[in-house]
Amino acid sequence: MDYSIFYLPCWRDGYGVALNAFYEELLETFRYADRNGWQRGLFTEHHFHYYGGAVPNPAVIFGAIARETTNLRLGATVSLMQLRDPLQVAEDYAMVDHLSGGRCDFGVARGFVPHEFAAFGIDQGEAAGRIAEGLEICQRFWTGEAFAYQGQYFSFDKLEPWPPALNGALPIWNAASNSRDSFENAAARGYRLMMNQYPMSFAALKEKHGWYCDAWERAGRAASDRKFMVSFIAHIADSEEEAVAQAEQAVQEHVNVFGKVMRGEQWDHNWLGDKSVLTAMHDSGDVRDVFRERTLIGTPQQIAERIEKYRALGVTEISLLPRVTSLSHRQCMETLQRFTEEVMPLVR
Q: What is the 3-state secondary structure (H, E, C) of the chain?
A: CEEEEEECCCCCCCCCCCHHHHHHHHHHHHHHHHHCCCCEEEEECCCCCCCCCCCCCHHHHHHHHHCCCCCCEEEEEECCHHHCCHHHHHHHHHHHHHHCCCCEEEEECCCCCHHHHHHCCCCHHHHHHHHHHHHHHHHHHHHCCCEEEECCCCEEEEECCCCCCCCCCCCEEEECCCCHHHHHHHHHHCCEEEEECCCCCHHHHHHHHHHHHHHHHHCCCCHHHCCEEEEEEEEECCCHHHHHHHHHHHHHHHHHHHHHHHCCCCCCCCCCCCCHHHHCCCCCCCHHHHHHHHCEEECHHHHHHHHHHHHHHCCCEEEEECCCCCCCHHHHHHHHHHHHHHHHHHHC
Rounded distance between C-alpha atoms, residue 107 and residue 242, angstroms: 35
- Domain assignment present for residue 271? The answer is no
Q: What average pLDDT does range 81-103 have in this prediction?
A: 98
Q: What average pLDDT does range 249-259 have in this prediction?
A: 97
The pLDDT value recorded for residue 179 is: 86
Predicted confidence (pLDDT) per residue in 267-320, tens digit: 999 999 999 999 999 999 999 999 999 999 999 999 999 999 999 999 999 999
Are the CB atoms for 319 and 231 separated by under 8 Å?
yes
- Per-residue pLDDT for 100 more than 90? yes
- Domain assignment present for residue 38? The answer is yes
The strand pair at 155-159 and 147-150 is best described as antiparallel
- Domain assignment present for residue 266? The answer is no
Question: Could you give the number of structural domains in the chain?
Answer: 1
Angle, in degrees to the nearest 10, between helices 329-338 and 19-35: 10
- Domain assignment present for residue 283? The answer is no
CATH number of the structural domain spanning residue 231: 3.20.20.30
The pLDDT value recorded for residue 277 is: 95
Q: Domain of residue 169: give its range.
A: 2-235+296-347
- Domain assignment present for residue 111? The answer is yes
The pLDDT value recorded for residue 255 is: 96
pTM value surpassing 0.85: yes
Predicted confidence (pLDDT) per residue in 142-200, tens digit: 999 999 999 999 999 999 999 999 999 999 999 998 889 999 999 999 999 999 999 99
The pLDDT value recorded for residue 201 is: 93
Per cent of the chain over pLDDT 90 is: 98
- Domain assignment present for residue 263? The answer is no
The pLDDT value recorded for residue 322 is: 97
- Per-residue pLDDT for 348 more than 80? no
Predicted confidence (pLDDT) per residue in 7-33, tens digit: 999 999 999 999 999 999 999 999 999
Are the CB atoms for 163 and 91 separated by under 8 Å?
yes
User: CA distances (Å), 298 to each of 15, 212, 239, 316, 324, in order?
Assistant: 23, 30, 7, 21, 15
User: Among 43, 50, 49, which Cα is nearest to 80's?
Assistant: 43
Average pLDDT, the chain: 96
Within its chain, how far is the Cα of 88 from the centroid? 21
- Domain assignment present for residue 74? The answer is yes
- Domain assignment present for residue 244? The answer is no
